[in-house]
Chains A and B, each alone.
Chain A
Amino acid sequence: MKIVSIIVLPIVVLLIVLYGYIKKIDIYASFLNGAKEGMEIVVNIAPAILAMVFAVNIFLDSNVLNFILMPINKIMHFPSEILSLAFLRPISGTASLSIMTNIFKIYGPDSFYGRLSSVLQGCTDTTIYVIALYYGSIKVSKTRYTVFVGLMADLVGIVMAFILTNIFF
């Protein structure tokens, strides 16, 4: 599996460049055209990213998360890191990733909590962030039931991560 994740990127690039060359299109001009579009995309989403980083970091730095999670911590005997990870995963990829590395540091990646945090991190994406980013880029403000469905699916993923980690290890 390790080799797959290493070779997949070079192979995709190779196939696309070769295919374009064989089809006799001007691959270099195509690349530059696409790259220019990419620049425009980044410029368009930059304000939305700045807005989200600003808000998420105020929330994290205030430590209010520990306060919110206190009642759950009392019922379930999980380390608060695991619960913060499950709670933050849909909101911020960078935040949950740094919590995961903290868990690796404290308990080790091969401990139960280390495995659980890996599965939790892998089972879902940063729902809130992606929704904000994608809708923000095309200026849609009425998102209707997107967040509800996204978070319900995350909840299923998180519950399954707990169950499957228990079954597998």
Chain B
Amino acid sequence: MVSILWAFLIVIGIIYAFLNGNVSIINESILVNANKALELIISFLPTIVLWTGIMKIAEDAGLLTKFSNFLRPVLSKLFPSVPKDNKALGYISSNIAANMLGLGSAATPFGLKAMIELQKINDNKNRASQAMITFLVLNTAGVTIIPTLIIALRLGYGSKNPTEIIAPAVLSTMCSSIAAITIDYFIRRKK
């Protein structure tokens, strides 16, 4: 699927540019993009390294286990294939909590570690397990309570009430999360 999307973006983009005689833009784009990617990687490298460090303290001190204990009743219902004492549940709950608070860059390392743990209990290493799918659709449905970046940008562009969008944003994000869990549940039951 990722291969299809990747090819689609590149092929459609280049062919359309050829048809329009805009190839010079694409030429420039190809040359500049590698730099943009490096900038992006360098921009989040410190945050990820810092947060995995902080997270490791929480993990070693047993905080992560406590946190996952708190979310366990809900999580074990959503992830029936993951053993109840598995580390993945702790990472998943930390990832979801960080996302809820709008700490997107802090959530990513938790999420990546959750995937590593889920991969350990995956029968077919090449194929996504049901738990991975549930986790990803829940993650991408974006349960954000505090959209920090949007509020900051609204403030920057002179909004009189930058936080007024929180209520509709939270409600729509909840609808999309409920939709994700529901659709996932029905597909799972059919298989």
The chain A residues found within 8 Å of chain B, CB to CB, are 1-2, 4-5, 8-9, 12-13, 16-17, 19-20, 23, 25, 27, 30-35, 37-39, 41-42, 45-46, 49-64, 67, 90, 94, 97, 100-101, 104-105, 108-110, 114-115, 118-119, 121-128, 130-147, 149-150, 152-154, 156-157, 160-161, 164-165, 167-168
Interface residue from A32, A100, A123 paired with B172 (Cβ < 8 Å): A123
Cβ of B112 to closest chain A Cβ, rounded Å: 5
Is the Cβ of B115 less than 8 Å from the Cβ of A134?
yes
Q: Which of B86-131 contact A (CB under 8 A)?
A: 99, 101-104, 106, 108-109, 111-113, 115-116, 118-119, 122, 124-128
Number of chain B residues whose Cβ lies closer than 8 Å to a Cβ of chain A: 107
Expressed in whole angstroms, the Cα–Cα distance for A55 and B8 within the complex equals: 9
In the complex, chain B residues 6-46 whose Cβ is within 8 Å of any chain A Cβ = 6, 9-10, 12-14, 16-17, 20, 22, 25-26, 28-30, 32-34, 36-38, 40-41, 44-45
Q: Which of B63, B162, B180, B187 has the most CB of A within 10 A?
A: B180
With contact pairs A34-B53, A125-B142, A160-B171 given, residues A42 and B45 touching in the complex (Cβ less than 8 Å): yes
Other CB < 8 Å A-B pairs besides A121-B150, A144-B128, A164-B172, 11 of them? A12-B54, A34-B57, A37-B113, A42-B48, A54-B33, A125-B144, A134-B132, A140-B128, A141-B2, A145-B187, A165-B168
- Given A5-B148, A30-B60, A137-B115; A125-B25 close (CB under 8 Å): no
From B56, B115, B148, B165, contact of A118 by CB (8 A): B165
Would you list 9 pairs from A and B whose C-beta atoms are within 8 A, ordered by A residue?
Answer: A20-B57, A58-B13, A62-B13, A62-B17, A105-B157, A118-B165, A128-B5, A153-B183, A157-B175
Given contacts A61-B26, A157-B142, contact A135 B33 (CB under 8 A): no
Shortest Cβ distance from A37 into B: residue: B52
In the complex, what residues of B have CB within 8 A of residue A130's CB? 111, 136, 139-140
Number of A-B residue pairs at CB separation under 8 A: 342
**B16 and A63 contact, CB distance less than 8 A:** yes
Closest to B44 in A: A42
Q: Please, which residues of chain B bring their CB within 8 A of the CB of A2?
A: 151, 162-163
Nearest 5 interchain pairs by C-beta: A34-B56, A157-B176, A38-B52, A122-B169, A153-B180
**Complex Cα gap A160–B104 (Å):** 22
Q: Known: A34-B53, A131-B140. Is A123-B173 also a contact (CB below 8 A)?
A: yes
Contacts of B153 in A (CB 8 A): 97, 100-101, 104, 109
Distance, CA A165 to CA B167, complexed state (A): 10
Contact A143 B1, CB 8 Å, known A19-B63, A41-B112 = yes
CB pair B151–A62 under 8 Å, yes or no, is no
Given A8-B103, A140-B119, A149-B187, CB of A38 within 8 Å of CB of B33: no
CA distance A41 to B113 in the complex (A): 9
Docked pose: A59 CA to B124 CA in angstroms: 33
Q: Which residue from chain A places its CB closest to the CB of B187 in the assembled complex?
A: A145
B126 adjacent to A142 (CB under 8 Å): yes
Residues of A within 8 A of B150 (CB): 100, 118, 121-122
For A135, the chain B residues whose CB sits under 8 A away are 2, 115, 128, 132, 136
